[in-house]
Amino acid sequence: MGIDEIIEFVGGFEGVLVLRPQAGDGSPEIAWGDVFFYYAPDGNVPTATQPFATIVTKDYPGDEGSRLDRPGAFRVNTAVGKDAFERWTESTDPSAVDVLQAHPVYGDAGWLAVVNPGPATEAALRDLLRTAHGRARQRYERRSALRQP
């Protein structure tokens, strides 16, 4: 699965806002080239929630274990929740390719990651991205219901 294929897949979910920071848009330089997926049916970037999935194309400070400095390496991260997290974690090498594993930084919060997803993880990753989208939508709907008088 390539980056564009993942963007097309997740971007096709109902209510998804795909954010692709780049030079000149006011986003921090470290985020340029990465992709953030939000559940935002109004089309505005939420201010009180995190994305439900991301694609990162480089190592971030304190998160170098995936070795995204390798040519062509990227990592898909998805907030799947504790149940799915426990069901899918298997690897302890954060740089392993095409293996679902705990996110090297946010694993404790129920995030899974896969470096360069391929045939071994494609079907599971698609399901997990659907799960993360559904969870984000439920959070949005709960928050919206609380704001209504």
pLDDT tens-place string over residues 46-72: 988 999 999 999 999 888 889 999 999
**37 φ/ψ sector (left φ>0, alpha ψ -120 to 50, else beta):** beta
Evaluate whether 74 touches 98 at the Cβ level (below 8 Å). no
pTM for the predicted model, two decimal places: 0.87
- Residues of the chain with pLDDT below 50 are none
The single-letter DSSP state of residue 111 is E
* Cα separation, 58 vs 39, whole angstroms: 24
The torsion angles phi and psi of 122, rounded to 5 degrees, stand at -55, -50
